[in-house]
Structure 1
């Protein structure tokens, strides 16, 4: 069986490609077994493969999930929560965006304003210069955009169910300079307490499970964030 696997961030760099055509000798294979076969075939990337997860048809897959030849398969490194232009896009309802363009905060907020809501908040995540003793000159974001948009929609549905709040999320990909916005989350709700809670929930869920990665670009070196075992605590709890 031949499987086409999408690769991202440090894994794509380690294997020198964003798509891997991989032959499996058996007529079917599980997600866990596929990771074992990939690790054996690419020992130089075995460490990164071990801490990555398989996504099948844009959903995280438990290790016993059987992969079919027609499945859309991706190997997802630990997320650091932002693929180039061909993957940029919007959700069907227009509330969620992955884009290379600068984020327009007022436009994103306008998507959630409601005449029945008395509270609204905008969370803006920006590139900071110093992290401890490390100096950052820019961040580079990469995303598995179709799956990222699907996860944004999941977050938005839960925000509505739990707090009766509206939510819009936009995330940059590509290079994001100092003080520039990489993510904007707008929330509106009938009351302020729910608005605060929903906004905090949305950014924490985004960082935990949405397939967006960032590379820290410093004066002397570049490295992908989150590419280690310690970052596994941020994976969806069902797969810890």
Structure 2
């Protein structure tokens, strides 16, 4: 069978393509076996393949899940964070709670989506590009996303917040492409009936985004560049969100 595999960030750089047609000698293959076969075919990328996750039909897959030629397959390296659910919106609809855009983000518009007469608290987290990191000057950041899956995972975060903090509302907008110094890369707005829930849900949203949403950033320095991924310890996006007021 021939599998079309989407690649991203440093993995696409290492292999030299963002879309790979990979021939496998059988009609099915498990996610783990596919990684082994890819590592053998592309030894220079073997270490990165080993720590990546296979996504099947826009969901993270465990190692024993079977893949067929009909499946949509992507290899997800460690993450940092016409058909509106299938492509990013060049001019995002501000009535959508979860969006990915190439345009500058309006903090006011994202926040407006969660303001409601029933809620007494609203918080907005704004992520921006800092100029200096560990003594190196950043020129700008480049963000890349597996857009349809990223949107699905943003919606999942919203659903999880609704379950853990009933009545809360969340909106998230993430920018991709080039993001300059002091420009906004992500805005997360949360509102709740009471402030305690609002604080907790807001923190949960950004931590969960870093854990499960397939978005990567490339730090462009004066003297080089590097893809940055997940920064929260051992990366396992298949593990359910665990942050709560009890785990603070």
TM-score under structure 2 length normalisation: 0.89
Residue 165 of structure 1, CA deviation: 0.6
CA contact (8 A) 1:40 1:46 kept: yes
- Which residue of the partner structure matches residue 135 of structure 1? 137
CA contact (8 A) 2:27 2:69 kept: no
CA contact (8 A) 1:78 1:232 kept: no
**Of the candidates 195, 200, 218, which is equivalent to residue 197 of structure 1?**
200
Q: Distance in 1 between matches of 2:173 and 2:239?
A: 26
Please list every run of 5 or more consecutive structure 1 residues that lacks an aligned counterpart in the other structure.
none
Residue 12 of structure 1, CA deviation: 0.8
1:136 alignment partner, SS class? strand
Where does 1:53-72 land on structure 2 (aligned, <5 Å)? Answer: 53-72=53-72
Where does 1:28-177 land on structure 2 (aligned, <5 Å)? Answer: 28-81=28-81, 87-89=87-89, 94-163=96-165, 164-177=167-180
- Which residue of the partner structure matches residue 217 of structure 1? 220
CA contact (8 A) 1:112 1:168 kept: yes
CA contact (8 A) 2:60 2:238 kept: no
Q: Distance in 1 between matches of 2:87 and 2:142?
A: 15
1:88 alignment partner, SS class? coil
Residue-by-residue CA offset, 1:97-141 (whole Å, 9 max, x unaligned)? 111000011111111111100000000000001112122111100
Residue 238 of structure 1, CA deviation: 3.4
Q: Distance in 2 between matches of 1:27 and 1:189?
A: 50
Give the direction of change, closer, same or farther, for the CA distance of 1:236–1:73 in structure 2 (3 Å limit).
same
Residue-by-residue CA offset, 1:43-78 (whole Å, 9 max, x unaligned)? 111111111110000000000000021111000000
2:62 alignment partner, SS class? coil
Following TM superposition, the consecutive aligned residue runs of length 4 or more in structure 1 with deviations greater than 6 angstroms are none
**Length, aligned pairs only:** 232
CA contact (8 A) 1:87 1:144 kept: no
Give the direction of change, closer, same or farther, for the CA distance of 1:155–1:9 in structure 2 (3 Å limit).
same
Residue 235 of structure 1, CA deviation: 2.5
Residue 237 of structure 1, CA deviation: 5.4
What is the CA RMSD across the aligned residues, in angstroms? 1.8
TM-score under structure 1 length normalisation: 0.92
Q: Distance in 1 between matches of 2:226 and 2:155?
A: 29
Q: Distance in 2 between matches of 1:34 and 1:14?
A: 17
More helix by share: 1
